[in-house]
Structure 1
Amino acid sequence: MALGKMTKQERSWVLYDMGNSAFIMLATALIPVYFKTLVEPGSSVVVAWGYAETIASLLLALAMPILGSLADLKGNKKKFFIGTVGTGAIALAALGIPGTALAFLVIYVIASIMLNGSMVFYDAFLVDATSEERYDEVSSQGYAWGYIGSCIPFIACLLVVLGGPAVGISMDVGMKLAFLITAVWWVAFSIPLIRNVHQTHYKERATNLLRDTFSGLGRTIKRIFKDRKLRLFMLAFFCYIDGVHTIIKMSTSYGTDLGIDSTQLVLALLMTQFVAFPSALVYGRLSAKFGTKRMLLVAVAAYFCITLFAAFFMREAPQFWILAICVGLFQGGIQALSRSEFSKLIPKEHANEYYGFFDIFGKYAAVLGTLLVSVFTQITGNPSVGVLSIAVLFVAGFVLLWKMPEK
C-alpha cells in the first residue's frame, strides 16, 4: 500500500518513522566510527560503546513506565512526544561540540534516551492513528518507509563526511554538519504527527495525580501477569528483541574492532536499509495470510542463524555485506509485527502505560545484550565470543513465543 492510499492520520504517523530512523541509521553507521577518533589509542570501541548504550537503555527503562502512565492522561501524550523530540534533536545537533570521548558519550546518552522515549509515545499513537485490523499493515509501513526515508539524510551525511575533503571540508566538520542535518530531518518529520494525529484514547485526569499514577502502574502489572498470552509475549519479546537491538547498536563497532574498513561498513549498512524497505512491507502482507505469531517465529529463527554467522564466519568485508543483507530481510518485520501484536493485546486507553512496560522489556533486554557483548569481549579479548553470547536469547524467545496461545 502506498502512502497516498492511507488516511491523513496513518500517513502522518508513518512519516515519523522516517524522521527517527535517520538518527538510528547515523548512530549505527557513522557515530561509532567518529567516536573511535575520540577514544584513546588501543581502547576498544565495542567496550566503550556497549557501556554507553547500556546506561542509556537502563535509564530509559526506569523512567518510561511512570512517564507512560502520565502520558495516558487526556492531552498529555502529544506534550510528552514533543518534549522528547525537541530535547533529543538539540542534543543530537550538539554532538559536534565535545572534543573528548566522555563528554561525547554523555551527550549521546541524552540524545539516545530522548529518541527512544519519543518512540514509546509514537508507538502508543498507533492506536489513535488507525483501526485494530490495520495495525500490522500500518506498523509495517512505518518501518518500511523509515528504512528508505532514513537513506536520504544519511546519503547527504555521507557526502559531507566522506566527500567533504575533496572540497576542503574536513571529516570533523563534516560530522558536525551530519549531526545538524539529521537533527533537522528528525524534527521536520515529527511535524505531521504533531499536527494531524490526536489522542483519542486516554484516561481522565485524577484529583491525586501521584497516587493515581502509581496505583495505575500496579494494576497494569497485575493485568500483565494474569493474562497468559500477554505475559508470554512480553517475555518472548524481552529475549528476542535483545539480540535485535544489540545487533543494530553494535554491528559497526564490532566490524571496526575486526579491522573492516569504515567505508565498507557504512555502505553495507546502507544496503540494509534498501533491503529492509520491501522486506518490511512483505512481512506486513504475509502476517495477514499466515498470522503474526508464525511470521515472528520465522524472524526469530533467522536472527539466531544470523548471530551464529556473525560469530563464526564474519572476519572481512564480504561477510559483513552478507550479514547486512540478511539483517535487512528480517529486521523490519520482527520490529513491526512485535509492535502491532502488542497493540492488539492491550487496552487502548492505557496504551502509553503498557508501552512503558513494553519498553522496559525491550530496553532491559538491550541492557543485557550490550552488556553481554561488552563483558565477554573484555574478558576474552575476542569480539566474536561477545556476539555469540546473545544467541541463547533468540532460543529462549523462540520457545516462549511458540508456547504463546493463539487466542
Structure 2
Amino acid sequence: MAGSIATTQPIPKNDRREIFGWTMYDWANSAFSTTVAGALLAPYLTALAQSAVGENGVVLGLGPFGAVTAKSFFPLCISLSVFLQVFFLPILGAIADYSHLKKRLMAFFCYIGVLATCLFFFITADTYFWGGVLFIVANLAFGAAIVLYNAFLPDIASEDKVDSVSSRGFALGYLGGGILLAANFALLTFANSLGISAGMAVRLSLLSAGVWWGGFALITFARLRSRAPARTLQPGKSYATIGFSEVGATFRELGRLPYTLRYLVGYLFYNDGIQTVIGLASVFLSQELFTEQQRAAGEDQRFVLLIYLMVQFVAFLGALVFERIARVVGTKRAIMISLVLWSGVVVYAYGFLQNTTQAWFMAGAIAMVLGGSQALSRSLFSRMIPPGREASFFGIYEISERGTSWIGPLIFGAVVGATNSYRDAILSLIALFLIGLVILVTTDTNRAVHEAGRSLPEEARQA
C-alpha cells in the first residue's frame, strides 16, 4: 500500500493532494452511514423481526431486565456496538499514537466493516438476528476506522484550515452518500420492472454500500501518508500493553484540561441526540406516517430513501454554509445555532408532524444543520488536543460520533417500549440537545485551545 512506511522527516501540512485523499474517506464511508445505518437497515431488520415475532413481539427475553422487542431490537444493536467501543476505541487510539501503523490500522478496520456490510446481502427473515450481529461488527469497525481518520486531521491541516478541511470532508460525504442513495432509490423504485422483489432490492442496496465504501477508500489509502510515531515506547513496553496503560494516562491528561473535558462532555450529549435522530428517523417515519399495509408494500422504504436522498444533497450545502457562518460568528457560536435548530426539530416531530409533506420540510431543516454541527464540532475538538495524543483523544471523541450513540438509543428504546409511542420517544431526545447546549455555552473554548498548546485560527494565520 502506497505510503504505508512512515517517514522520519516532517511532512508539510495543507498539501492539497493529501487533503483530497483524506476527504475522500468521508465520500467512501458515508455509504454505510446513509444507505445502511440511516435509510435501509433499521426498517429492514425491524420489519424482518416483526414478521418473525409480531409487531412488538419478544425477540430475546432478558428475565428480570425485561425483553428485547421487535421495535427495540435495532436500537439495542446500536447501543451494544457503542458499549463495546467505549472499551476498545481509547485503547486503539493509544496504540496508534505510539506507532506508525495508524494508516494500516485504519485500512484494517475499514475493510472489516466493508466485509460485514457486504454480508448483509445474505440476511433474510430466517436470519434477521444475525443481521443485528453483523451490524454490531460493522458499526464497531466503522467507529475504529473513524478514530484513526479523524486523528489525521491535525496532521494534514493547520489550525486556521481545520474548519474548512473538516467541513469539506463532511460535504463530500453527503454528496457521495447522496449519489449512492439515488442509485439505490432507483433500484427500489423499479424493482418490480426489473423482476426482483423489494426485499432483494434492499439487500442489493446494502451490498452496494459495502462495495462503494471499500472501493473509494482505496483513493484515501493511496494519498494519505503515514507519519512517524507521535510518541516513543519506553523500554519493556509493547503495543499490547501500552494501549491499556495509556488509556488511564489519556484520561488523566484530559483531567488536566478542564475546558477540553467540559466541551467533550457537552459534545457527548448533543451528538448523542444528533446520532439518534439520524439513526432512528427512518423507523420513526415508517411507523408514524405509514400503515402496516403500506409498510408491507414497501411504500415507507421508498419514501424514507427519497427523504434521505434530499437530505444528503441539502446537507452538502449546509456543511459549506455553516463553515462560512463560523468564519463570521466563530465556530462555537455556529454550533450553538445548530443546537437550537435541532431542539426545534424534535419538538416539531412530536407535536406537529402529521403527513409526508410536513416530513419534507422537517427533513430540510435537519439537512441544513446536520453537516455544520458535525464538521465544526470535529474541527473545534481537533484544536483542543495536545500534540502527540491525537488518536488517543479522538478514541474518546468517537464514542459518541456518527452512528455510534448509546445514551440516545437506550432512552429512545426504553420510552418506545414503555409507551408504545415513537412520538414520546423522539421528544425525549430534546434533553440531550439542551444539556449539550448549556454545557457548550459555559465552556471557554479559546482557553481550551491554548491549554492544549495549540493556536486559534486567527493566531495561526498571523504566524
Q: Which residue of 2 aligns with 1:203?
A: 231
- Give 1:351's aligned residue: 390
How much does 1:319 deviate? 2.3
Indicate the residue corresponding to 1:71 in structure 2: 96
> Is 1:26 paired with 2:38?
no
TM-aligned CA deviation for residue 172 of structure 1: 2.7
TM-score under structure 2 length normalisation: 0.83
Aligned equivalents of 2:161, 2:336: Cα separation in 1: 21
1:336 aligns with: 375
Residue 38 (structure 1) aligned to one of 45, 48, 56: 48
Moved more, 30-39 or 223-232: 30-39
Q: 1:336/1:363 Cα in 2 relative to 1: closer, same or farther (>3 Å)?
A: closer
Contact 1:268 1:324 in 2 (8 A): yes
Residue among 234, 247, 256 paired with 2:286: 256
What amino acid is aligned across from residue 57 of structure 1 in structure 2? V
1:104-138 per-residue CA deviation (whole Å, 9 max, x = no partner) reads: 11112111111122111111111222222100000
Q: How does 1:281-292 map to 2 (within 5 A)?
A: 281-292=320-331
3-state secondary structure, aligned to 1:355: helix
Of 268-277 and 188-197, the range deviating more from structure 2: 188-197
Paired residue for 2:429, among 383, 390, 404? Answer: 390
Give the direction of change, closer, same or farther, for the CA distance of 1:86–1:272 in structure 2 (3 Å limit): same
Q: Is the 8 A contact 1:46 1:250 kept in 2?
A: no
CA distance in 2, matches of 1:291, 1:363: 23
Question: Is residue 227 of structure 1 aligned with residue 266 of structure 2?
Answer: no
Q: Which residue of 1 aligns with 2:106?
A: 81
Distance 1:348 1:71 in 2: 13
Once the two structures are TM-superposed, the CA of residue 313 in structure 1 deviates from its matched residue by 1.5
CA offset digits 1:32-57 (Å, max 9, x no partner): 23224411331375412111111111
- Cα gap change, 1:265/1:174 in structure 2, threshold over 3 Å: closer, same or farther? closer
CA–CA distance in 2 between the matches of 1:214 and 1:110?
21
Shift of 1:269: 1.6
Q: Hey, what's the Cα distance between the residues in 1 that align with 2:142 and 2:89?
A: 12
* Aligned-residue CA RMSD (Å): 1.9
Q: Distance in 2 between matches of 1:165 and 1:254?
A: 26
1:98 to 123, 131, 137: 123
2:459 equivalent in structure 1: none
1:147 aligns with 2:174: yes
Cα distance in structure 2, aligned partners of 1:175 and 1:269: 15
Alignment of 1:289-304 (within 5 A): 289-304=328-343
SS at match of 2:306: helix
Partner of residue 273, structure 2: 243
Report deviation, 1:312. 1.3
After TM superposition, give the deviation of residue 17 of structure 1 in Å.
0.4
Partners of 1:230 and 1:46 lie apart in 2 by: 37
Task: State how far apart, in whole Å, the 2-side matches of 1:206 and 1:269 are.
Answer: 49
Separation in 1, partners of 2:242, 2:144: 22
> CA–CA distance in 2 between the matches of 1:92 and 1:373?
25
More helix by share: 1
**Aligned runs of 1:10-25 on 2, under 5 Å?**
10-25=19-34
Structure 1 residues 258, 276: CA separation in 2 closer, same or farther (over 3 Å shift)?
same
Offset at 1:262?
2.8
Q: Name the SS of the counterpart of 1:366 in structure 2.
A: coil
Q: Which residue of 1 aligns with 2:64?
A: none
> Which sits farther off after the overlay, 300-309 or 39-48?
39-48
Query: What residue number does 2:201 align with?
Result: 174
Partner of 2:293: none
Contact map agreement 1:15 1:189 (CA 8 A) in 2: yes
AA matched with 1:8: R
Change (3 A) 1:233 1:51: same
Deviation at 1:324, TM superposition (A): 0.9
Q: Compute the displacement of 1:161 (Å).
A: 2.7
What amino acid is the match of 1:31?
A: L
Distance 1:293 1:115 in 2: 27
Which residue in 2 is equivalent to 1:326? 365
Contact 2:314/2:367, CA 8 A, preserved across alignment: yes
Instruction: Report the Cα offset of residue 189 of structure 1.
Output: 1.8
Hey, what's the Cα distance between the residues in 2 that align with 1:127 and 1:157?
A: 35
- Unpaired segments ≥5 residues, structure 2: 1-13, 57-68, 291-299, 448-463
**TM-score, with normalisation over the residues of structure 1?**
0.94
Which of 144, 149, 155 is the matching residue for 1:122?
149
CA separation in 2, counterparts of 1:96 and 1:173?
8
- Among residues 157, 177, 188, which one is paired with 2:215 in the alignment? 188
Measured in 2, the distance between the counterparts of 1:364 and 1:206 equals 36
Query: Could you tell me how far apart the structure 2 residues matched to 1:108 and 1:183 are?
Result: 12
Given the superposition, is the C-alpha separation of residues 157 and 206 from structure 1 closer, same or farther in structure 2, using an over 3 Å criterion?
A: farther
Tell me the CA shift for residue 10 of structure 1: 0.7
Give the number of equivalent residue pairs. 403
- The separation in 2 between residues aligned to 1:309 and 1:285, in whole angstroms, is 27
How far the C-alpha of 1:140 sits from its partner, in A, is: 0.3
Structure having the higher Rg: 2
